[in-house]
Amino acid sequence: MDLQALKNRFSIIGNTPAINHALNTAEQVAGTDLTVLIVGESGVGKEVFSQIIHSLSARKHNPFIAVNCGAIPEGTIDSELFGHEKGSFTGAVDSRKGYFETVSGGTIFLDEIGELPLGTQARLLRVLETGEFIRVGSSKVQKSDVRVVAATNRELLEFTQKGKFREDLYYRLNTVPIRVPSLRDRKEDIPLLFRKFVVDFAEKYKTKPIFLDEEARTLLTEYPWPGNVRELKNIAEQISVLSKVEHINAEVLAGFLPIQNVNSVPMVTGGTPVGEFANEREILYKLFFDMKKDVNELKKMFLEILQNPSISGSNHSNFNKESLINELKEDLKPVSNPIHHASPINPTVHLNSPQPIILDNEINGHYEVEESLNIMDKEKELILKALKKHRGRRKDASTDLGISERTLYRKIKEYDIEE
C-alpha cells in the first residue's frame, strides 16, 4: 500500500523520516506472523501501529484485542490471559476462557508489557515458543494460534539487567522492533496535528475552528509535550471549547499549557528565554551569588560600625579593633589573581570538601575564590596556630584555645597533627 494511503486510512498526520520509517516497518511485517515489539513514550499512539499490523495481515477478519497489562491486578492477570478452571482459586465459581483462547486465529496486543509479573512472563514465553498454554488450576495443555504484538514505554533491556523482566522473553518479543518517535522529535508535524484536531473538534461542537498566530505557533512547536499526541489532542480540545476568541496568541495558548512545562520552553518571542535562567547550574550560581552578596554587605556594615564609634555606641575594649578592621578590609578586596569570565567554569561543588569552592561571582570586574567553610578544617587550622604560637606547649595552647589539655590531645590524634 502507498505510504500516503496508509496514513489517510489510519488518520496519521506527519511526514518526518522517523514516523515514515515506523510505518514502513509496520507495513512490511504485517504480512508475517512475527512477534512485534512497539517501543515509545506514553501517548505517541502505539496502539494505532498494532491495529495497522492486524488490519494489513491475513488475520484481519479474525478477532483483535488490546490488553493493558499494567491495569490488571497481579493476582488475576494469569486468569485473564490464559483462563481458569472452576474452584482453582477463591471466587472462581465457574470455568473461564482466557484471551489466548478466545482470540485464537487473531491478534492480541499486550500494552505496557513491562508490567507483567515474572510468573506470567514464563507462561507467555511458552505460548510464543510452542503455542501452548495451561489454564489456571488445570493440567490440560491447550493450543492457541495467536499473533502477539507487544508495546512498552520502558527500556526492557534495562529491566532484564535488574531482574524485572526475563531476558529470553525480551529477545523473543523483540523479533521486529518498531520505535514510535515522541512528538518533540517530530516538531514539524506538531502544527499539522494541532490543525487536524481543532478542525475535528470544531465539527464536533458546531463551532468555528481556532487559528494560531506566529508567536503561538512558535510556542506550540517549542513546548516539550511530555504527553505527546494524547496531550496535544487534549489541549486542542480545551482551547476549542473554552477559548472566547478565534485567533489565539502566545499568551492565550500559554494559559492552557501546564505551568511547569511552559517555563521550560526555550523561546516564545524574539528568541528570548522564558525565565531568567536556562538551566539548573545557573540557578545554583545565582543562589551562591546572592549569598556572597549578603555576606559582603554584612561585612561592610560591621566595618562601618567599627570605624565610627558614634554608630556603635561602644569602645570595643574587649577585642583588638584595629586588627579586626584590617581583616575585614582584606576580605572585601578583590582577589589579586582574577579569573576571567571568558574561561568557562563548570565546578563540581562538594560541601564537605577541604578544597576551595570556586564561585562565579564578579565584583569590580574580578572573580573571587571563596575559601572552604568546613568546620573541621578551621578547627585543625586553629590548633596548628595555637601550637605554633606556644612552641608546642599543649597546656598553654589548650588554655589559649579555651579547651582542656586532654581534649587538645584527642584533637591532635584525630587530625593526625605532627608537633
CB atoms within 10 A of CB 256: 15
pLDDT surpassing 70 at residue 289: no
Helix axes 321-332, 280-307, angle to 10 degrees: 150
Sheet with 36-39: strands ordered across? 64-68, 107-111, 147-152, 36-39, 176-179
CA separation for the pair 335, 333 (Å, rounded): 6
Residue whose C-alpha is closest to residue 131's, from 120, 116, 147, 115: 147
% of the chain surpassing 90 pLDDT: 54
pLDDT surpassing 90 at residue 49: yes
DSSP 180: P
Which of 150-164, 263-277, 318-332 is the most confident on average?
150-164
- Please tell me if the domain spanning 3-181 has the same topology as the one spanning 184-262: no
Domain ranges in the chain?
3-181, 184-262, 280-370, 375-414
**CA torsion sign, 249 to 253 to 259 to 260?**
negative
Q: Give the chain's radius of gyration (CA, Å).
A: 35
CA separation for the pair 15, 190 (Å, rounded): 11
pLDDT in tens, 226-250: 999 999 999 999 999 998 889 999 9
CA separation for the pair 384, 188 (Å, rounded): 66
pLDDT in tens, 17-48: 999 999 999 999 999 999 999 999 999 999 99
What CATH code would you report for 375-414? Answer: 1.10.10
Half-sphere exposure of residue 192: CA atoms within 13 angstroms, side-chain side: 11
**CA torsion sign, 266 to 272 to 274 to 276?**
positive
Least confident of 67-71, 72-76, 325-329: 325-329
The DSSP string of 358-376 is EEEEEETTEEEEEPP--HH
DSSP 356: P
196 touches 8 (CB < 8 A): no
CA separation for the pair 371, 358 (Å, rounded): 8
Right CATH for 3-181 from 3.30.565.10, 3.30.470.20, 3.40.50.300, 3.30.70.3040: 3.40.50.300
Query: Rounded to two decimals, what is the model's pTM?
Result: 0.61
pLDDT in tens, 364-375: 444 444 455 567
pLDDT surpassing 80 at residue 221: yes
The topology under which CATH files domain 184-262 is Helicase, Ruva Protein; domain 3 (1.10.8)
Span 208-218, mean pLDDT? 93
Span 174-192, mean pLDDT? 94
